[in-house]
Amino acid sequence: MSAQDTTEDRYTVISADCHAGADLLDYKPYLESRHHDAFDAWAATYVNPYEDLLADTADRNWNSERRLAELEADGIVAEVVFPNTIPPFFPSASLMAPAPTREEFEQRWAGLRAHNRWLADFCAAAPGRRAGVFQILLNDVDLAVEEIRRSVKAGLTGGVMLPGTPPGSGLPELYSSAYDPIWAACAELGVPVNHHAGSASPPLGEEPAARAVFMVETTWFSHRALWHLVFGGAFRRHPELKLVLTEQGSGWIPGVLDMLDYYHGRLVAAATKADTAESKFGAGLADSMGRGPSQVWRENCFVGASFMRPHEAALRDRIGLDKIMWGSDYPHDEGTHPYSREGLRLTYAGLPRDEIAAMVGGNAARVYGFDLDRLGEIAARVGPTVRELDEPLKEAPADATSPVFAQGGSVRIW
């Protein structure tokens, strides 16, 4: 009997998308001592560009007790923890910034390792309730593999945060076999490769339209990881590899899989006809890929469906019920906190109980290695009840900031 059964009338909710990081100066003890003087100089002049990391609520990123209390009040018993605050020596987000000089590259690698060490301690402060996602850079694959092995050994079970390779990065594209050692290490160690929205967009400049264009394009640039790894044959060479696409929506998946299947079939067929103009585009594709895109999705891929919308839940059979992992995006403004229960009602009310249980916790437990029996004991105290989530939400909370509550939030975007 599973924990979901023993809690009787409550769901075990695991957020597959939360964010955390240390307060800036608290990273110093996690740096190698040879970087301490450089860190002091950097930190003395650093100006944080993010308002939410300067607000009085910023400690939600590192205050373990506050975090546990707020998540429990929101009905959540465990979380997958993506990075949020700025690690040492980075100008802003750390997801892809290749350093302009060798010295800066070494410092930024040291900064990411400091974050990963801090994260291991942060996760250990709540045993069994946090799956920490550790960071790497792609400039040096050997260093990346070394950090993957060290992080898993340190107890981080959330897998690797895969940076993007946007236009202009100077890095090989994600379909390149140069990254095979990374895929091999993650497959061997049983941890997923996570690709989070916002981690692959190129810089867009400071024109007034830049932010709007970013919002339109950022999810598309993040989706690219799927077809890069599929067409690149990563899953043929490493059949145990798991890919998780997080905070990119989920309603786009059926249509994109149809498109990828179409191109796969078209190009593979064209490769058998040497006298056609298209034959060169499919040359070698069947051998390098193995299975088709939809089959790869069914066997290897998952979606971190942050603040999932009602129209996405309606597509659950086409996406794959066993692929969907709901996320609150705590502590971000676009997240569902402190109205996650209401967000869950809006999206899932009226659906079969076993299907809700899979999407709000069961799938994440399987992908990230959470113990549902152990978490069920906490859920029996704080989890949303079956009756609660069966009640349709008639009116959104007036001060809710998540897009899931926005008027027109069921429009089929992403």
Of 85, 12, 50, 15, nearest in space to 330 by CA: 15
**pLDDT score of 156 more than 90:** yes
**pLDDT score of 5 more than 50:** no
Crossing angle of helices 372-382 and 64-73, in 10° steps, is: 70
Of 108, 101, 117, nearest in space to 86 by CA: 108
Cβ atoms within 10 A of the Cβ of 202, count?
A: 14
Domain span including residue 131: 16-405
| Spatial distance between the Cα atoms of 401 and 394, rounded to a whole number of angstroms | 17
Q: What is the mean pLDDT of residues 386-406?
A: 94
Total domains present in the chain: 1
- For residue range 80-112, what is the model confidence (pLDDT) as tens digits? 999 999 899 988 755 555 566 888 889 999 999
Q: What is the mean pLDDT of residues 227-234?
A: 96
In a domain, 412, yes or no: no
Q: What is the mean pLDDT of residues 142-158?
A: 98
Query: Picking from 5-19, 64-78, 164-178, 346-360, which range would have the lowest pLDDT averaged per residue?
Result: 5-19
In a domain, 314, yes or no: yes
Q: DSSP states of 32-52 as a string?
A: -GGGHHHHHHHHHH-----GG
Of 181, 149, 82, 150, nearest in space to 122 by CA: 82
- For residue range 264-312, what is the model confidence (pLDDT) as tens digits? 999 999 988 878 888 888 888 888 898 999 999 999 999 999 999 999 9
Contact (Cβ atoms closer than 8 angstroms) between residue 179 and residue 139: no
Q: What is the mean pLDDT of residues 322-340?
A: 97
Cα-flanking dihedrals φ and ψ of residue 140, to 5°?
Answer: -135, 100
Which pLDDT value is given to residue 4?
45
DSSP for residue 385: B
In a domain, 413, yes or no: no
Which pLDDT value is given to residue 88?
94
Q: Quick check: bond before 338 cis, omega within 30? A: yes
- For residue range 13-61, what is the model confidence (pLDDT) as tens digits? 999 999 999 999 999 999 999 999 999 999 999 988 777 888 889 999 9
Contact (Cβ atoms closer than 8 angstroms) between residue 404 and residue 33: no
In a domain, 10, yes or no: no
CB contact set of 265 (below 8 Å; sequence gap of 6+): 292
309/410: higher pLDDT: 309
Identify the CATH number of the domain in which residue 122 sits.
3.20.20.140
| Spatial distance between the Cα atoms of 104 and 38, rounded to a whole number of angstroms | 11
In a domain, 227, yes or no: yes
In a domain, 3, yes or no: no
In a domain, 147, yes or no: yes
Place of tokens 């944080």: 48
In a domain, 354, yes or no: yes
Of 403, 409, 406, 414, nearest in space to 219 by CA: 414
Percent of the chain predicted with pLDDT > 70: 94
| Spatial distance between the Cα atoms of 211 and 49, rounded to a whole number of angstroms | 15
Cβ atoms within 10 A of the Cβ of 167, count?
A: 11
Contact (Cβ atoms closer than 8 angstroms) between residue 96 and residue 46: no
pTM, to two decimals: 0.94
